[in-house]
Chains A and B, each alone.
Chain A
Amino acid sequence: MDVQTYIESGVLELYVMQALPDAERKEVESLAAQYPEIQAEIERIEAALQQYALDYAQVPRPDLKREIFSNIRDLPKKETPVVPFWRWAIAAAFILAIGSSIWLYSKWNESKQAFAQLTVAQQTLEQDCQLTRQQLNILTNPQTRAIVLNGLPIAPESRVKIYWNAEHEATFLSIESLPPAPDGMQYQLWSLIGDNPTSAGVFDRNIGVLQIMESVANAEQFAVTLEPAGGSATPTLDRMYVAGKV
Protein backbone atom coordinates (compact mmCIF):
# COMPACT_ATOMS: atom_id res chain seq x y z
CA MET A 1 0.00 0.00 0.00
CA ASP A 2 1.54 3.27 -1.12
CA VAL A 3 0.29 5.65 1.56
CA GLN A 4 1.66 8.77 -0.11
CA THR A 5 -0.08 8.08 -3.42
CA TYR A 6 -3.28 7.37 -1.54
CA ILE A 7 -3.01 10.66 0.35
CA GLU A 8 -2.35 12.55 -2.86
CA SER A 9 -5.26 10.98 -4.73
CA GLY A 10 -7.79 13.43 -3.29
CA VAL A 11 -9.94 10.71 -1.77
CA LEU A 12 -9.32 12.00 1.78
CA GLU A 13 -10.64 15.43 0.85
CA LEU A 14 -13.83 13.82 -0.46
CA TYR A 15 -14.02 11.76 2.71
CA VAL A 16 -13.82 14.80 4.97
CA MET A 17 -16.43 16.58 2.88
CA GLN A 18 -18.70 13.53 3.17
CA ALA A 19 -18.93 13.10 -0.60
CA LEU A 20 -17.83 9.45 -0.87
CA PRO A 21 -20.08 6.46 -1.47
CA ASP A 22 -20.40 4.19 1.60
CA ALA A 23 -17.96 1.53 0.43
CA GLU A 24 -15.17 4.02 -0.17
CA ARG A 25 -15.93 5.84 3.06
CA LYS A 26 -15.48 2.62 5.01
CA GLU A 27 -12.24 1.93 3.19
CA VAL A 28 -10.87 5.34 4.21
CA GLU A 29 -11.90 4.74 7.81
CA SER A 30 -10.16 1.39 8.04
CA LEU A 31 -7.00 2.73 6.36
CA ALA A 32 -6.97 5.75 8.68
CA ALA A 33 -7.08 3.39 11.64
CA GLN A 34 -4.08 1.50 10.24
CA TYR A 35 -1.92 4.37 9.03
CA PRO A 36 -1.31 7.36 11.32
CA GLU A 37 -0.14 9.46 8.33
CA ILE A 38 -3.58 9.09 6.76
CA GLN A 39 -5.30 10.04 10.02
CA ALA A 40 -3.01 13.08 10.37
CA GLU A 41 -3.74 14.20 6.82
CA ILE A 42 -7.49 13.89 7.46
CA GLU A 43 -7.10 16.13 10.49
CA ARG A 44 -5.22 18.76 8.48
CA ILE A 45 -7.92 18.76 5.80
CA GLU A 46 -10.58 19.09 8.48
CA ALA A 47 -8.78 22.03 10.04
CA ALA A 48 -8.51 23.82 6.67
CA LEU A 49 -12.19 23.29 5.89
CA GLN A 50 -13.17 24.44 9.33
CA GLN A 51 -11.19 27.61 8.76
CA TYR A 52 -12.92 27.99 5.40
CA ALA A 53 -16.34 27.56 7.01
CA LEU A 54 -15.44 30.12 9.69
CA ASP A 55 -14.67 32.59 6.94
CA TYR A 56 -18.39 32.69 6.27
CA ALA A 57 -19.34 33.28 9.92
CA GLN A 58 -21.99 35.90 10.39
CA VAL A 59 -23.75 37.01 13.50
CA PRO A 60 -27.40 35.94 13.59
CA ARG A 61 -30.13 38.40 14.56
CA PRO A 62 -29.64 39.28 18.26
CA ASP A 63 -33.22 38.25 19.22
CA LEU A 64 -32.77 34.81 17.69
CA LYS A 65 -31.12 33.29 20.72
CA ARG A 66 -34.01 34.21 23.00
CA GLU A 67 -36.53 32.88 20.43
CA ILE A 68 -34.72 29.59 20.01
CA PHE A 69 -34.36 29.11 23.74
CA SER A 70 -37.99 29.86 24.42
CA ASN A 71 -38.92 27.27 21.78
CA ILE A 72 -36.71 24.79 23.51
CA ARG A 73 -38.54 25.39 26.78
CA ASP A 74 -41.83 24.57 25.02
CA LEU A 75 -40.57 21.26 23.69
CA PRO A 76 -41.37 18.08 25.61
CA LYS A 77 -38.46 16.65 27.55
CA LYS A 78 -36.41 14.15 25.66
CA GLU A 79 -37.86 10.72 26.37
CA THR A 80 -36.17 7.40 26.76
CA PRO A 81 -36.22 5.19 23.64
CA VAL A 82 -39.65 3.97 22.49
CA VAL A 83 -40.23 0.36 23.37
CA PRO A 84 -42.42 -1.60 20.88
CA PHE A 85 -45.71 -3.07 22.09
CA TRP A 86 -44.75 -6.75 21.92
CA ARG A 87 -41.90 -6.09 24.25
CA TRP A 88 -44.32 -4.55 26.67
CA ALA A 89 -46.48 -7.69 26.41
CA ILE A 90 -43.57 -9.87 27.36
CA ALA A 91 -42.45 -7.39 29.93
CA ALA A 92 -45.88 -7.56 31.52
CA ALA A 93 -45.31 -11.22 32.30
CA PHE A 94 -41.98 -10.52 33.90
CA ILE A 95 -42.79 -7.07 35.05
CA LEU A 96 -41.77 -7.58 38.61
CA ALA A 97 -38.51 -9.17 37.64
CA ILE A 98 -37.40 -6.75 34.99
CA GLY A 99 -39.30 -3.62 35.94
CA SER A 100 -36.40 -2.44 37.97
CA SER A 101 -33.95 -3.19 35.16
CA ILE A 102 -35.92 -1.03 32.76
CA TRP A 103 -35.91 1.75 35.27
CA LEU A 104 -32.18 1.36 35.76
CA TYR A 105 -31.60 1.21 32.03
CA SER A 106 -33.47 4.43 31.43
CA LYS A 107 -31.64 6.11 34.31
CA TRP A 108 -28.39 4.88 32.85
CA ASN A 109 -29.32 6.25 29.44
CA GLU A 110 -30.21 9.59 30.98
CA SER A 111 -26.89 9.78 32.75
CA LYS A 112 -25.03 8.79 29.62
CA GLN A 113 -26.78 11.57 27.72
CA ALA A 114 -26.14 14.10 30.49
CA PHE A 115 -22.50 13.10 30.66
CA ALA A 116 -22.07 13.51 26.91
CA GLN A 117 -23.72 16.93 27.01
CA LEU A 118 -21.41 18.03 29.76
CA THR A 119 -18.45 16.77 27.72
CA VAL A 120 -19.55 18.98 24.84
CA ALA A 121 -19.93 21.94 27.18
CA GLN A 122 -16.53 21.27 28.67
CA GLN A 123 -14.94 21.04 25.21
CA THR A 124 -16.55 24.34 24.31
CA LEU A 125 -15.05 25.95 27.38
CA GLU A 126 -11.68 24.41 26.70
CA GLN A 127 -11.62 25.80 23.16
CA ASP A 128 -12.64 29.15 24.54
CA CYS A 129 -9.97 29.02 27.17
CA GLN A 130 -7.31 28.14 24.64
CA LEU A 131 -8.26 31.14 22.53
CA THR A 132 -8.26 33.41 25.56
CA ARG A 133 -4.83 32.14 26.54
CA GLN A 134 -3.51 32.92 23.05
CA GLN A 135 -4.94 36.42 23.29
CA LEU A 136 -3.54 36.88 26.75
CA ASN A 137 -0.12 35.83 25.48
CA ILE A 138 -0.29 38.50 22.82
CA LEU A 139 -1.57 41.13 25.26
CA THR A 140 1.17 40.50 27.79
CA ASN A 141 3.86 40.29 25.13
CA PRO A 142 6.38 43.12 25.74
CA GLN A 143 6.17 44.03 22.03
CA THR A 144 2.47 44.87 22.40
CA ARG A 145 1.84 48.58 22.66
CA ALA A 146 -1.06 50.37 24.27
CA ILE A 147 -2.23 53.38 22.28
CA VAL A 148 -4.70 55.85 23.73
CA LEU A 149 -7.14 57.44 21.26
CA ASN A 150 -8.40 60.71 22.72
CA GLY A 151 -11.71 62.41 21.95
CA LEU A 152 -11.87 64.90 19.09
CA PRO A 153 -14.00 68.10 19.15
CA ILE A 154 -17.28 66.33 18.25
CA ALA A 155 -16.97 64.12 21.33
CA PRO A 156 -14.18 65.41 23.60
CA GLU A 157 -15.10 63.04 26.46
CA SER A 158 -14.49 59.94 24.31
CA ARG A 159 -11.56 57.66 24.96
CA VAL A 160 -10.61 54.36 23.33
CA LYS A 161 -7.58 52.18 23.96
CA ILE A 162 -5.88 50.08 21.31
CA TYR A 163 -3.50 47.23 22.08
CA TRP A 164 -1.43 46.51 19.02
CA ASN A 165 1.20 43.90 18.37
CA ALA A 166 2.89 44.57 15.04
CA GLU A 167 4.70 41.26 14.96
CA HIS A 168 1.52 39.20 15.39
CA GLU A 169 -0.48 41.86 13.55
CA ALA A 170 -2.98 41.57 16.38
CA THR A 171 -5.24 44.49 17.29
CA PHE A 172 -7.49 44.70 20.34
CA LEU A 173 -9.80 47.54 21.23
CA SER A 174 -11.28 48.61 24.52
CA ILE A 175 -13.78 51.45 24.86
CA GLU A 176 -13.48 53.66 27.89
CA SER A 177 -16.04 56.17 26.75
CA LEU A 178 -17.93 56.63 23.49
CA PRO A 179 -21.45 58.01 22.91
CA PRO A 180 -24.04 55.35 21.94
CA ALA A 181 -24.15 54.87 18.16
CA PRO A 182 -27.47 55.96 16.56
CA ASP A 183 -29.65 53.23 14.98
CA GLY A 184 -28.21 51.92 11.75
CA MET A 185 -24.73 53.23 12.53
CA GLN A 186 -21.60 51.50 13.80
CA TYR A 187 -18.15 52.59 14.87
CA GLN A 188 -15.25 51.63 12.63
CA LEU A 189 -11.57 51.46 13.48
CA TRP A 190 -8.95 52.67 10.99
CA SER A 191 -5.19 52.32 10.90
CA LEU A 192 -3.41 55.15 9.12
CA ILE A 193 -0.08 55.44 7.38
CA GLY A 194 0.37 59.06 6.38
CA ASP A 195 -3.05 59.99 5.03
CA ASN A 196 -3.86 56.45 3.93
CA PRO A 197 -6.60 54.80 5.99
CA THR A 198 -7.14 51.03 6.15
CA SER A 199 -10.19 49.60 7.88
CA ALA A 200 -9.55 47.42 10.91
CA GLY A 201 -13.20 46.45 11.22
CA VAL A 202 -16.44 47.72 12.72
CA PHE A 203 -17.37 47.28 16.38
CA ASP A 204 -20.25 47.84 18.75
CA ARG A 205 -20.19 49.98 21.85
CA ASN A 206 -19.47 47.23 24.38
CA ILE A 207 -17.89 49.08 27.22
CA GLY A 208 -15.47 47.07 29.33
CA VAL A 209 -15.13 44.30 26.75
CA LEU A 210 -11.86 43.73 24.96
CA GLN A 211 -12.78 43.42 21.30
CA ILE A 212 -10.64 41.69 18.73
CA MET A 213 -10.21 43.75 15.59
CA GLU A 214 -8.86 42.83 12.18
CA SER A 215 -5.12 42.35 11.85
CA VAL A 216 -2.97 45.43 11.27
CA ALA A 217 0.59 45.04 10.07
CA ASN A 218 1.57 48.67 9.89
CA ALA A 219 0.22 51.85 11.43
CA GLU A 220 1.32 55.34 12.40
CA GLN A 221 -2.06 56.34 13.78
CA PHE A 222 -5.38 54.79 14.78
CA ALA A 223 -8.74 56.55 14.52
CA VAL A 224 -12.42 55.71 15.02
CA THR A 225 -15.25 57.07 12.86
CA LEU A 226 -19.02 56.58 12.94
CA GLU A 227 -20.24 54.87 9.77
CA PRO A 228 -23.42 53.26 8.41
CA ALA A 229 -23.78 49.76 9.94
CA GLY A 230 -21.41 47.32 8.31
CA GLY A 231 -18.75 49.98 7.77
CA SER A 232 -17.52 52.10 4.87
CA ALA A 233 -14.69 51.73 2.40
CA THR A 234 -13.24 55.09 3.42
CA PRO A 235 -13.62 56.96 6.69
CA THR A 236 -16.14 59.79 7.03
CA LEU A 237 -13.76 62.42 8.36
CA ASP A 238 -16.33 64.78 9.89
CA ARG A 239 -17.57 61.89 12.02
CA MET A 240 -14.20 61.05 13.51
CA TYR A 241 -14.61 60.54 17.26
CA VAL A 242 -11.17 59.64 18.55
CA ALA A 243 -7.62 59.41 17.19
CA GLY A 244 -4.15 58.70 18.51
CA LYS A 245 -0.57 58.35 17.29
CA VAL A 246 1.34 55.10 17.66
Chain B
Amino acid sequence: MQNSKKEGLSLLYDKYAGALYGVIFKVVQQQEAAEEVLQDTILKIWNNASKFDASKGTLPAWIVNIARNAAIDRIRLKKINTKTQELEPISNTLEQQALNPDVIGVKELTEKLNPEQKAIIDLIYFNGYTQSETAEALNIPVGTVKTRLRAAILKMREMFSLE
Protein backbone atom coordinates (compact mmCIF):
# COMPACT_ATOMS: atom_id res chain seq x y z
CA MET B 1 0.00 0.00 0.00
CA GLN B 2 2.68 2.46 1.09
CA ASN B 3 4.57 1.72 -2.11
CA SER B 4 1.69 2.28 -4.45
CA LYS B 5 1.03 5.58 -2.67
CA LYS B 6 4.61 6.66 -3.29
CA GLU B 7 4.24 5.78 -6.93
CA GLY B 8 1.06 7.81 -7.17
CA LEU B 9 2.77 10.77 -5.61
CA SER B 10 5.71 10.41 -7.96
CA LEU B 11 3.35 10.30 -10.91
CA LEU B 12 1.59 13.41 -9.71
CA TYR B 13 4.92 15.17 -9.36
CA ASP B 14 6.12 14.25 -12.85
CA LYS B 15 2.91 15.38 -14.42
CA TYR B 16 2.21 18.61 -12.58
CA ALA B 17 5.41 19.88 -10.93
CA GLY B 18 6.10 22.25 -13.84
CA ALA B 19 2.64 23.78 -13.79
CA LEU B 20 2.59 24.07 -10.00
CA TYR B 21 6.12 25.43 -9.75
CA GLY B 22 5.38 28.02 -12.44
CA VAL B 23 2.35 29.36 -10.59
CA ILE B 24 4.13 29.33 -7.25
CA PHE B 25 7.20 31.08 -8.63
CA LYS B 26 5.01 33.72 -10.22
CA VAL B 27 3.51 34.47 -6.80
CA VAL B 28 6.54 34.27 -4.52
CA GLN B 29 9.14 35.47 -7.08
CA GLN B 30 12.02 33.67 -5.40
CA GLN B 31 13.50 30.24 -6.09
CA GLU B 32 14.13 28.98 -2.57
CA ALA B 33 10.69 30.00 -1.33
CA ALA B 34 9.07 28.56 -4.45
CA GLU B 35 10.75 25.19 -3.90
CA GLU B 36 9.57 25.07 -0.27
CA VAL B 37 6.03 25.96 -1.26
CA LEU B 38 6.12 23.29 -3.98
CA GLN B 39 7.02 20.67 -1.39
CA ASP B 40 4.21 21.83 0.93
CA THR B 41 1.82 21.78 -2.00
CA ILE B 42 2.68 18.25 -3.05
CA LEU B 43 2.15 17.05 0.52
CA LYS B 44 -1.05 19.02 0.89
CA ILE B 45 -2.48 17.53 -2.30
CA TRP B 46 -1.61 14.08 -1.12
CA ASN B 47 -2.94 14.43 2.40
CA ASN B 48 -6.12 16.17 1.27
CA ALA B 49 -6.84 13.86 -1.63
CA SER B 50 -10.15 12.91 -0.01
CA LYS B 51 -11.35 16.50 -0.42
CA PHE B 52 -11.04 16.36 -4.18
CA ASP B 53 -14.51 16.25 -5.69
CA ALA B 54 -14.50 15.51 -9.41
CA SER B 55 -18.05 16.84 -9.75
CA LYS B 56 -16.87 20.31 -8.67
CA GLY B 57 -13.98 20.67 -11.10
CA THR B 58 -11.06 18.99 -12.77
CA LEU B 59 -8.03 17.65 -10.98
CA PRO B 60 -5.61 20.19 -12.51
CA ALA B 61 -7.90 23.08 -11.50
CA TRP B 62 -8.03 21.75 -7.96
CA ILE B 63 -4.29 21.26 -7.52
CA VAL B 64 -3.34 24.54 -9.20
CA ASN B 65 -5.61 26.26 -6.69
CA ILE B 66 -3.88 24.48 -3.81
CA ALA B 67 -0.51 25.67 -5.12
CA ARG B 68 -1.74 29.20 -5.65
CA ASN B 69 -3.28 29.39 -2.17
CA ALA B 70 -0.16 27.99 -0.53
CA ALA B 71 1.99 30.53 -2.38
CA ILE B 72 -0.31 33.43 -1.54
CA ASP B 73 -0.38 32.40 2.13
CA ARG B 74 3.39 32.44 2.03
CA ILE B 75 3.65 36.02 0.73
CA ARG B 76 0.97 37.20 3.16
CA LEU B 77 2.88 35.65 6.03
CA LYS B 78 6.06 37.31 4.89
CA LYS B 79 4.29 40.65 4.71
CA ILE B 80 3.01 40.29 8.26
CA ASN B 81 6.43 39.22 9.52
CA THR B 82 8.14 42.23 8.00
CA LYS B 83 5.30 44.42 9.31
CA THR B 84 4.65 45.94 5.93
CA GLN B 85 1.01 45.10 5.75
CA GLU B 86 0.29 47.72 3.14
CA LEU B 87 -0.78 46.56 -0.27
CA GLU B 88 2.01 46.58 -2.78
CA PRO B 89 1.63 49.37 -5.28
CA ILE B 90 0.40 48.16 -8.62
CA SER B 91 3.35 49.58 -10.53
CA ASN B 92 5.58 47.23 -8.61
CA THR B 93 3.63 44.20 -9.64
CA LEU B 94 3.68 45.20 -13.28
CA GLU B 95 7.38 45.85 -13.11
CA GLN B 96 8.09 42.47 -11.58
CA GLN B 97 6.25 40.81 -14.41
CA ALA B 98 8.21 42.70 -16.98
CA LEU B 99 11.45 41.74 -15.24
CA ASN B 100 10.76 38.05 -15.22
CA PRO B 101 12.00 36.81 -18.60
CA ASP B 102 12.46 33.22 -17.40
CA VAL B 103 8.78 32.63 -17.59
CA ILE B 104 7.77 30.69 -20.67
CA GLY B 105 4.98 31.78 -22.93
CA VAL B 106 4.09 34.86 -20.97
CA LYS B 107 5.35 37.27 -23.55
CA GLU B 108 2.91 35.97 -26.06
CA LEU B 109 -0.01 36.44 -23.74
CA THR B 110 1.09 39.86 -22.55
CA GLU B 111 1.00 41.04 -26.11
CA LYS B 112 -2.59 39.96 -26.53
CA LEU B 113 -4.10 41.11 -23.23
CA ASN B 114 -3.81 44.84 -22.65
CA PRO B 115 -1.91 45.95 -19.50
CA GLU B 116 -5.11 46.94 -17.72
CA GLN B 117 -6.62 43.51 -18.29
CA LYS B 118 -3.44 41.73 -17.29
CA ALA B 119 -3.07 43.83 -14.13
CA ILE B 120 -6.52 42.96 -12.88
CA ILE B 121 -6.13 39.23 -13.52
CA ASP B 122 -2.71 39.10 -11.91
CA LEU B 123 -3.67 41.11 -8.83
CA ILE B 124 -6.50 38.72 -8.08
CA TYR B 125 -5.03 35.49 -9.36
CA PHE B 126 -1.40 35.74 -8.37
CA ASN B 127 -1.48 38.27 -5.53
CA GLY B 128 -4.66 36.88 -3.99
CA TYR B 129 -6.40 40.24 -3.72
CA THR B 130 -10.11 40.24 -2.89
CA GLN B 131 -12.50 42.25 -5.00
CA SER B 132 -12.43 45.16 -2.55
CA GLU B 133 -8.62 45.12 -2.26
CA THR B 134 -8.43 45.17 -6.05
CA ALA B 135 -10.86 48.06 -6.25
CA GLU B 136 -8.74 49.97 -3.74
CA ALA B 137 -5.42 49.15 -5.42
CA LEU B 138 -6.64 50.18 -8.86
CA ASN B 139 -8.74 53.02 -7.49
CA ILE B 140 -11.91 51.91 -9.27
CA PRO B 141 -15.37 50.95 -7.97
CA VAL B 142 -16.03 47.27 -7.12
CA GLY B 143 -18.55 47.11 -9.98
CA THR B 144 -15.81 48.08 -12.42
CA VAL B 145 -13.56 45.35 -11.02
CA LYS B 146 -16.24 42.82 -11.97
CA THR B 147 -16.87 44.10 -15.47
CA ARG B 148 -13.20 44.61 -16.27
CA LEU B 149 -12.31 41.16 -15.00
CA ARG B 150 -15.12 39.60 -17.01
CA ALA B 151 -13.89 41.35 -20.18
CA ALA B 152 -10.30 40.25 -19.53
CA ILE B 153 -11.19 36.61 -19.03
CA LEU B 154 -13.48 36.61 -22.05
CA LYS B 155 -10.55 37.90 -24.08
CA MET B 156 -8.43 35.10 -22.67
CA ARG B 157 -11.05 32.48 -23.50
CA GLU B 158 -11.25 33.79 -27.02
CA MET B 159 -7.46 33.51 -27.39
CA PHE B 160 -7.29 29.97 -26.08
CA SER B 161 -10.17 28.69 -28.16
CA LEU B 162 -8.45 30.03 -31.29
CA GLU B 163 -5.64 27.56 -30.79
Contacts and interface: CB of A to CB of B under 8 A. Distances in A.
Interface of A: 8-11, 13-14, 17-21, 43-61, 64-65, 68-69, 71-72, 75, 78, 112-121, 123-125, 127-128
B144 to A, nearest CB: 9
19 contacts: A9-B147, A14-B131, A19-B130, A20-B130, A46-B58, A47-B58, A55-B104, A55-B108, A56-B105, A57-B18, A58-B102, A58-B104, A65-B10, A69-B9, A114-B5, A119-B49, A120-B45, A120-B52, A124-B8
A43 B153 CA distance: 13
A244 B121 CA distance: 43
Contacts of B9: 69, 72
A118 B8 contact: yes
Interface string B82-122: 00000000000000000000111110110000000000010
Contacts, number: 175
- Looking at chain B's contact residues, the main secondary structure is helix
Q: Shortest 6 CB-CB distances between A and B: which pairs? A: A10-B146, A121-B8, A10-B150, A116-B50, A56-B22, A116-B49
A75 B11 CA distance: 20
Interface string B4-39: 111111111111111101110110000100110011
B149 A65 contact: no
Contacts of B4: 118
Contacts of B157: 44-45, 48
A57 B58 contact: no
A64 B51 CA distance: 26
Contacts of B42: 68, 72
Contacts of B10: 65, 69
Contacts of A71: 39
Given A13-B150, A56-B26, A56-B106, A50 B131 contact: no
Contact of A10 (B64, B106, B145): B145
A contact patch SS: helix
A21 B135 CA distance: 14
B81 interface: no
Contacts of B38: 60, 64, 68
Given A46-B58, A117-B5, A121-B12, A72 B50 contact: no
A10 B147 CA distance: 5
Contacts of A59: 17-18, 21
A20 to B, nearest CB: 7
A55 B105 contact: yes
Nearest to B156: A48
Contact of A53 (B19, B45, B50, B148): B19
B121 to A, nearest CB: 7
B14 to A, nearest CB: 8
B12 A50 contact: no
Given A20-B130, A116-B51, 20 more contacts: A8-B150, A10-B148, A19-B129, A47-B58, A48-B156, A48-B160, A49-B61, A52-B156, A53-B64, A55-B104, A55-B105, A56-B26, A60-B17, A64-B35, A113-B49, A117-B46, A119-B52, A120-B46, A121-B11, A128-B15
B60 A50 contact: yes
